[in-house]
Chains A and B, each alone.
Chain A
Amino acid sequence: MVIAIASGKGGTGKTTIATNLARILEDRSVTLLDCDVEEPNCHLFLKPIIEKERTFKTFIPVVDLEVCTFCGKCSELCQFGSIVTIKKNVLVFPELCHGCEGCKLICPVGAISDGNKEIGTINHGYSGKIKIIYGRLRIGEAMSPPLIQEVKRLGLSESRQDITIIDAPPGTSCPVIEAVKGSDFILLVTEPTPFGLHDLKLAVEMVKVLNIPFGVAINRSTTGDRNVWQYCKQNAVPILLDIPDDREIATAYSRGELIVQSLPHYREHFETLYEKVKITMKSFEEVSS
């Protein structure tokens, strides 16, 4: 079972839910994949013992100018302007390269070979029995999807464990899609404010495009207004978790503590969440079959 925790708006509590849920499910062998590689935060709360850290590299072309005939086919193919042929030279712009390898394939004289650029690192570790894998995008690197894909590849293939939780980046564009696609369930985290609702609607549209069962978690539910509930009701979107606006939660979070450990009276919220996810999934299956 792969559960992705996502949200349109940032700072609604994705990491809080991902980490606390992982801790509650610890005895059922759980893997947490932090796919918010631009700003990974799960490790700040789970404080894992890191077993290995390795760099992750993606393809960029290396042109052998001795072999190159400067025919310009590579530049003609490249849609991203990352390989430019000028008279007797070929310039490569690694920051624009999407790694499609089209230039290498099309070169008629085999002048292009595999180079690489480091786009980030991947860490593996354990926090208690929770296995955690997180990516960390190199600063200045624009494209995170390949790194997210690699975190998922490692996390989903290495373990045959029961539950995988994915902490996704905020938004609804390509890095988010990369993080959540292929999941069995998506939990969309929001807060009951105009910003929260607006971005929830975008996130719901995204999940519908992907056709994955989903539900909503409302964080800081005692602030703002009631429009999120109204929206969920009107659109038959199930609400699976409701966390009140509690100064104690905010303070525990600020220190890097887990709610289920610092404030045990909230354990029940997370204990029932997993069961609710399973029930919601089932009802989705019934509706679609």
Chain B
Amino acid sequence: MKEIVVISGKGGTGKTTLTASLAALYKNKIIADCDVDAADLHLLLDPDIQKTTEFKSGVEAVIDKDICTACGKCREVCKYDAISPDYVVNKIDCEGCAVCYFFCPDNAITLRERHCGEWYLSETRFGPFIHARLGIAEENSGKLVSLIRRQAKLLAEERGFDTILVDGSPGIGCPVISSITASTLVVVVTEPTVSGIHDMERVFGLARHFKIPAVVVINKVDLNEEMARTIESSAEEHETPVIGRISYDPIVTRAMVEGKTVVEYSNNSVTKEIREIGKEILQRIK
């Protein structure tokens, strides 16, 4: 199974725009959106949801007021200040560590399974699509990402496909780590800005840490040619090939507004650049 994961470090560099176009270009693959925190790919893929499954992960503590003697033990042992002076657990602060449950002398605390969101199995005009929605202010995004990847793999096996295309999330933390571990290739989308370069280098570090090959795509390359060259030399230093450059073009935003991928919407130089990147990625995972 080949897994291509599109990430960026910095947000808003064009991960989802590129992933959506690759989804339009590639055949016989499963599409997965692992940016569970601010998932946007579905806005372009217009999924027909076939199955919705609740995502439960971890626990949250609940205090039974009738049993509670207000002894203060739970507040003393909670490292997250999640229990108020009148003994109500703040769901946002509760980490689900269960320490209060184990230490309550009156067994007034129960642990409730946490509903963290839901995930979907969908059909789209570009093929099957696994995506999710993490609940607002929820935790366990890494576990939801792992679940999506697992489901995508199962579905790929079922359909006899050998490629999974994954849209990742920004940053280098929990959901990103879960998105890239043991994948085939990481595609780093960056932009020629000081933050783009800074964040790209952090992602290189992450890919190296988990021993996953990475390639770079420079988006909006003509925004700052000098910075684009700095990216190229940084990529070379990190032995990470730059496999494509995408020019700045208002057509990209217009396509998004129309709910279409760039390669569907237009057939100009940007489309050509994206097509070439698509081919290059396939070459690399062969």
| Chain A residues packing against B (C-beta within 8 Å) | 8-12, 15, 36, 38-39, 41, 44-45, 77, 79-80, 98-102, 105-106, 137, 139-144, 169-175, 177, 181, 193-195, 198-199, 202, 205-206, 209-210, 223-225, 250-251, 253-256
Q: Is the CB of B43 within 8 A of A100?
A: no
Give me 22 A-to-B residue pairs in the complex whose CB atoms sit less than 8 angstroms apart, sorted by A's number: A45-B194, A77-B102, A80-B97, A98-B97, A100-B79, A100-B99, A101-B99, A102-B97, A106-B102, A144-B171, A144-B173, A170-B38, A171-B38, A172-B37, A172-B134, A198-B40, A202-B38, A224-B253, A253-B193, A255-B193, A256-B194, A256-B195
Q: Is the CB of B136 within 8 A of A205?
A: yes
B75 CB within 8 Å of chain A: no
Give min CB distance, A17 to chain B, whole Å: 14
Q: Is the CB of A170 within 8 A of B257?
A: no
Cβ contacts under 8 Å, A256 to chain B: 193-195
Q: Is the CB of A142 within 8 A of B174?
A: yes
Give min CB distance, B196 to chain A, whole Å: 8
Stretch of B5-13, B151-159, B233-241 at the chain-chain interface: B5-13
When chains A and B are docked, how far (Å) is the Cα of A247 from the Cα of B86?
54
Cβ contacts under 8 Å, A210 to chain B: 92, 137
Q: Is the CB of A195 within 8 A of B77?
A: no
Also in contact, A172 and B257, with CB within 8 A (given A38-B171, A44-B194, A77-B102): no
Q: Is the CB of A139 within 8 A of B170?
A: no
Q: Contacts A8-B38, A41-B194, A254-B193 known; list 6 others, CB within 8 Å.
A: A100-B99, A101-B99, A172-B134, A194-B259, A209-B136, A250-B223
Q: Is the CB of B198 within 8 A of A44?
A: yes
Give min CB distance, A52 to chain B, whole Å: 21
Q: Is the CB of A202 within 8 A of B142?
A: no
B69 CB within 8 Å of chain A: no
B250 CB within 8 Å of chain A: yes
Shortest Cβ distance from A225 into B: residue: B257
Give min CB distance, B181 to chain A, whole Å: 10
Cβ contacts under 8 Å, B209 to chain A: 139-140
When chains A and B are docked, how far (Å) is the Cα of A101 from the Cα of B80?
11
Q: Which of A11, A79, A206, A250 contacts B96 (CB 8 A)?
A: A79
Q: Is the CB of A102 within 8 A of B102?
A: yes
Q: Is the CB of A199 within 8 A of B40?
A: yes
Count of chain B residues with a beta carbon within 8 Å of a chain A beta carbon: 60
Over the window 68-80 of chain B, the binary record of Cβ atoms lying under 8 Å from chain A Cβ atoms (1 yes, 0 no) is 0000000001011
Also in contact, A193 and B198, with CB within 8 A (given A10-B170, A105-B77, A173-B134): no
Cβ contacts under 8 Å, B141 to chain A: 173-174
Q: Which of A38, A79, A253 contacts B172 (CB 8 A)?
A: A38
Stretch of B118-126, B199-207, B263-271, B274-282 at the chain-chain interface: B199-207
Shortest Cβ distance from A140 into B: residue: B209
Give min CB distance, A4 to chain B, whole Å: 14
When chains A and B are docked, how far (Å) is the Cα of A175 from the Cα of B173?
9
Shortest Cβ distance from A77 into B: residue: B102
When chains A and B are docked, how far (Å) is the Cα of A151 from the Cα of B250?
39
Cβ contacts under 8 Å, B47 to chain A: none
Q: Which residues of chain B from 140 to 177 have a CB within 8 Å of any chain A CB?
A: 141-142, 169-174, 176-177
B1 CB within 8 Å of chain A: no
B25 CB within 8 Å of chain A: no
When chains A and B are docked, how far (Å) is the Cα of A137 from the Cα of B209?
14
B24 CB within 8 Å of chain A: no
Also in contact, A181 and B92, with CB within 8 A (given A10-B11, A194-B259): yes
